[in-house]
């Protein structure tokens, strides 16, 4: 009897076949337990089902058909999209220990962006970052930043009074200057500033990396092993240059802040507190490296998103003069016309606070938030949530839930007011606009405070109207809600912005 016909060979073949069948059946059963979603195609899965023009709206349409927990197969990688606040809360909040990591990204790694706190995987290093970040942005720390915020906002008012041809430049510069001053103690005076140009460039690179489909290597990671000269490997040359710029920027800004301290010119900032508080004395190299990452994260995460909300504010005021008028009536009654608003006025300005809440809801800066990654297999509503899956929350869809926000496309601050007081009760847009669970933005309170003082200051001093055409007639504006990028911002128009009175103009000129 030959080996090929021996009982042992037959037994081995049978065992292998049994293992193959068992594995196949197991995979079939596993796939059957996944949440519903569009039918995947062979090999590419649901790649062609991914939204092309508006992440929020197109995923919301999928949810109407498949439910608020959707599964997509993207070249073998699972993606779960949560379309309701309930599902997001159940998983991201109540099971945050398993849902607090981040998806892997080839381009993030190649470009050297993995140090950003917001992109770090859940673990010891991230927890250290988080604790340190909280130290600088907890509620007790925020009043220390108010003089800086007021100074920069009032400089913005003067720039607006000068009626720049492009309002977007002073808006971006304003919040860039605020965060740069708080993080590093460095001043930004104009758009030609060296520091401003560097961080703007880092933001541009981040925007490119975040564009779905921009780099094929994200879908086919094996491409990362191509040599940079190979046709189609342009992403490697892009990444090499991006990493060089990132390394230069993170070191240049931190070194500039330290040099200002050495010259005795340091201003109150995160870097100053870091050295003054003795945080740098233990494990100096690690501590400084972490602080470099935290300060640039503060700028990258704060300036861009707040600027997008401010752009939405100007558009909303031009589109809704009745809202603008109510806000100004409240300001006149509380602040008067002989001074500009202060942070201390906030408890007495509930309409302005409600206006900020409506801004967060009406224009969602991050339509899908920042994606999470589930660490281990989980079960939810009888469905399998596979370990390693990317988890995205359709924040845009949550903000448009008509059961919570009637007539959701309407800009209406009064939906957050009751008997003249701020009234949220489970409807606070900040509960979804700033992320979920352990990955919620630690700068949330700072961001809301920044929006409050800007809205109050601008409306106290100016009236905002639609742009005028060449014949002097108001241009008909619309809210263009196209959102196919990670961070979305409406177009900044050449609005008609006038001082509300000669007294208001004088206050703006004297405020700096």
DSSP states of 356-396: HHHHHHHS-SSTT-S-EE--S-EEETTEEE-TT-EEEE-HH
Tokens of 496: 């008609």
Q: How far apart are CA 466 and CA 455, in angstroms?
A: 17
Cβ atoms 396, 367 nearer than 8 A = yes
Q: How far apart are CA 21 and CA 12, in angstroms?
A: 14
Cβ atoms 449, 149 nearer than 8 A = yes
Query: Degrees (nearest 5) of the Cα angle 128, 133, 138?
Result: 130
* Burial label, 131 (beta-carbon count in 10 A; 0-12, 13-18, 19+): exposed
What stretch of H or E contains 462? strand 462-465
CA 259 to chain centre: 31
Q: How far apart are CA 509 and CA 507, in angstroms?
A: 6
- Binding-site sequence positions for heme: 441
- Binding-site sequence positions: 441
Q: How far apart are CA 101 and CA 124, in angstroms?
A: 12
Q: How far apart are CA 456 and CA 328, in angstroms?
A: 8
Residues 57/58/60/63 CA torsion (nearest 10 deg): 180
φ, ψ for residue 392, nearest 5 deg: -120, 140
* Neighbouring residues of 20: CB distance < 8 A, sequence distance ≥ 6: none
Q: Which residues of 452-478 are buried (b: 16+ CB within 10 A; e: fewer)?
A: bbbbbbbbbbbbbbbeeeeeeeeeebe
What stretch of H or E contains 73? strand 69-74
φ, ψ for residue 282, nearest 5 deg: -100, 130
Cβ atoms 266, 185 nearer than 8 A = yes
Q: How far apart are CA 435 and CA 437, in angstroms?
A: 7
Q: Which residues of 261-293 are buried (b: 16+ CB within 10 A; e: fewer)?
A: beeeebbebbbbbbbeeebeeeeeeebbebbbb
Q: How far apart are CA 365 and CA 399, in angstroms?
A: 11
Tokens of 109: 């790694």
């Amino acid at each position: 009897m030959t080996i090929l016909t021996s009982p042992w060979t037959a037994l081995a073949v049978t065992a292998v076949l049994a293992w193959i069948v068992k594995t196949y059946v197991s995979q079939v059963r596993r796939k059957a337990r996944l949440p519903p979603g569009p039918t995947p195609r062979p090999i590419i899965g649901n790649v062609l089902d991914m939204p092309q023009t508006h992440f929020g709206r197109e995923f919301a349409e999928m949810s109407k058909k498949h439910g608020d927990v959707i599964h997509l197969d993207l070249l073998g990688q699972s993606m779960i999209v949560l379309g309701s606040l309930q599902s997001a809360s159940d998983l991201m909040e109540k099971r945050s220990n398993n849902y607090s990591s981040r998806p892997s990204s080839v381009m993030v790694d190649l470009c050297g962006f993995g140090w950003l706190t917001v992109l770090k995987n859940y673990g010891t290093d991230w927890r250290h970052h988080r604790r340190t970040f909280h130290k600088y942005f907890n509620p007790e720390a925020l009043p220390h930043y108010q003089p800086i915020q007021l100074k920069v906002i009032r400089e913005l008012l003067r720039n607006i009074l000068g009626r720049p041809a492009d309002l977007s430049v002073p808006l971006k510069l304003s919040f860039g200057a605020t965060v740069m001053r708080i993080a590093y103690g460095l001043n930004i005076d104009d758009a030609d500033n060296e520091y401003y140009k560097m961080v703007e460039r880092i933001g541009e690179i981040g925007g490119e990396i975040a564009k779905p489909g921009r780099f094929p290597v994200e879908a086919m990671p094996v491409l990362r092993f191509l040599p940079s000269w190979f046709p189609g490997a342009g992403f490697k040359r892009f990444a090499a240059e991006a990493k060089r710029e990132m390394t230069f920027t993170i070191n240049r800004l931190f070194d500039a802040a330290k040099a200002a301290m050495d010259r005795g010119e340091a201003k109150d900032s995160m870097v100053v507190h870091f050295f003054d508080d003795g945080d740098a004395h233990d494990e100096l190299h690690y501590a400084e490296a972490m602080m470099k990452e935290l300060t640039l994260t503060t700028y990258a995460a704060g300036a861009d998103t707040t600027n997008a909300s401010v752009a939405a504010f100007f558009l909303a005021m031009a589109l809704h003069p009745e809202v603008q008028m109510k806000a100004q009536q409240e300001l006149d009654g509380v602040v008067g016309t002989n001074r500009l608003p202060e942070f201390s006025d906030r408890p007495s300005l509930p309409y302005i606070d409600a206006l900020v809440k409506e801004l967060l809801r009406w224009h969602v800066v991050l339509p899908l938030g920042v994606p999470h990654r589930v660490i281990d297999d989980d079960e939810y509503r009888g469905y399998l949530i596979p370990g390693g899956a990317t988890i995205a929350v359709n924040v845009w869809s949550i903000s448009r839930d008509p059961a919570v926000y009637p007539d959701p496309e309407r800009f209406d601050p009064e939906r957050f007011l009751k008997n003249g007081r701020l009234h949220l009760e489970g409807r606070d847009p900040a509960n979804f606009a700033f992320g979920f669970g352990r990955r919620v933005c630690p700068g949330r309170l700072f961001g809301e405070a920044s929006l409050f003082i800007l809205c109050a200051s601008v409306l106290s001093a100016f009236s905002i109207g639609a742009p005028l055409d060449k014949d002097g007639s108001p241009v008909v504006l619309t809210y263009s809600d196209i959102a196919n990028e990670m961070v979305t911002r409406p177009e900044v128009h050449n609005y008609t912005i006038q001082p509300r009175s000669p007294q208001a103009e004088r206050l703006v000129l004297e405020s700096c």
